[in-house]
A = this chain, B = another copy of it.
Amino acid sequence: MSPEVPDRLSLTLNALADPTRRAILARLSLGETSVNELAEPFEMSLPAVSKHLKVLERAGLISRSRTAQWRPCKLEPEPLKEVDMWLRDYRKMWEQRLDRLEAYLKELQAKETQAQSAKPKDDNTKDGEIK
């Protein structure tokens, strides 16, 4: 029933969950730019880009100044910092997972070496890549 205003982090993540918007941010990381220039690489109308910019602005990811009829956009990294902070708590999880993989590989290698001591041939363990 209430209009339900979303929290800042949700606003930010939602803004980031679109490849066009991320591309815009990537472009802006190189420096301030006008809307037209931002829109140029995309095959969509200017109003569409304008809407994306509004989403980014609402999330605080960009700010806009005004020079003549241009409204140059500027990247504001603060919300990204918040995403980073949210991620922090989970970071240890994939690191831990890597640790376990590493341990497993070490164990495997130990077993291999042991087996090879009987019939020594070429070593096949070279990379920890999964996929």
Q: Is the CB of B97 within 8 A of A77?
A: yes
Q: Does any Cβ of B come within 8 Å of A7's Cβ?
A: yes
Residues of chain B contacted by A29 (CB below 8 angstroms): 89-90, 93
Interface hits, A1-53 → B, CB 8 Å: 6-7, 9-10, 12-14, 16-19, 22, 25-26, 29
Give the dominant DSSP class at A's interface.
helix
Residues of chain B contacted by A86 (CB below 8 angstroms): 22
> Measured between C-beta atoms, what is the minimum distance from A11 to chain B in Å?
8
* Copies of this chain: 2
Residues of chain B contacted by A25 (CB below 8 angstroms): 90
> Measured between C-beta atoms, what is the minimum distance from A31 to chain B in Å?
12
User: Which chain B residue lies CB-closest to A15?
Assistant: B17
A26 to B22, CA, bound (A): 26
A25 to B9, CA, bound (A): 15
Contact bitstring A89-105, B, C-beta under 8 A = 1, else 0: 11101100100000000
A60 to B17, CA, bound (A): 15
